[in-house]
Amino acid sequence: MCGAARAEPVATAPFTVAIDGPAAAGKGTISRAVAGRFGFAHLDTGLLYRAVGAQVLSGVAAVEAARSLDPAALEDPALRTAEVAQAASKVAVIADVRAALLDFQRAFARRAGGAVLDGRDIGTVICPQAEVKLFVTASAEVRAGRRLAELQGRGTDTDFETVLADVRARDARDSDRAEAPLRPAETAFVLDTSEMSVEAAVEAAVAQVAAARA
Ligand code: C5P
């Protein structure tokens, strides 16, 4: 059969990079850079909770919104507002909401060709078997400063104290909840980006992935 065998495309094995951490720690930037560098797909799992939160703000019940979530809704730029972020962290405490979003995330994580997922519970709950687990953090003040710049860059009228209070409220809700609380996985590499440039943080994350691929 050998000579006559048709060449099948070689499916690249799954490879999961789990990137967790608190709001505005730099997970998104690092995740996109890692995905780009290694040719992996990227899923910002915060968008799933934001999409559910946005639905709740428009009157839909949280669990129903999570069960009928359309991945196309994740593209909506309206999901980026502070109001939706707060709504997201409220629906994220509901066990049935988290359960409804589980299969989609796990399937994404094990797709052929590799995947980067960023969120709060990727290394602890969604993909405890991930090949690489990173926990990206920074002080609340540094994160609030970055988020302020991002919001102002999009034309939002806000100030540092408001954004800091928002970051702290979400930290408390994400860390103190019973379901999948925010915490580093036991084997996670912790990257504190408080004093790091974006480039240095990206290179540190890339180095972790490269080491696991070697
Ligand atoms: O990451 P982002 O700030 O967009 O997430 C919005 C909210 O969604 C978070 O504050 C958190 O409550 C929730 N979330 C979560 N688990 C994830 C991702 C986000 O609970 N994996």
Among 46, 44, 64, residue whose Cα is nearest residue 55: 64
Q: How far is the CA of 26 from the centre of ligand 1 (A)?
A: 13
Q: Which of 165 and 11 is assigned the larger pLDDT? A: 165
- Contact 105 CB / ligand 1 (< 6 Å): no
Q: Whose C-alpha lies nearest to ligand 1, atom 6?
A: 46
Q: Which amino acid is at 14?
A: P
pLDDT tens readout for residues 118-156: 999 999 999 999 999 999 999 999 999 999 998 899 898
Options 3.40.50.300, 3.50.50.60, 1.10.1040.50, 3.40.50.1370; CATH for 16-213 is 3.40.50.300
For the chain, domain boundaries:
16-213
118 CB-side CA count, 13 A: 25
Computed on alpha carbons and rounded to an integer, the radius of gyration of the chain in Å comes to 18
- What distance in Å separates the CA atoms of residue 184 and residue 123, rounded to the nearest whole number? 8
Measured CA angle at 32 (ends 112, 169), to 5 deg: 115
Q: How far is the CA of 104 from the centre of ligand 1 (A)?
A: 15
- Contact 92 CB / ligand 1 (< 6 Å): yes
Q: What pLDDT does 82 receive?
A: 86
pTM score, whole prediction: 0.92
Among 134, 124, 136, residue whose Cα is nearest residue 24: 136
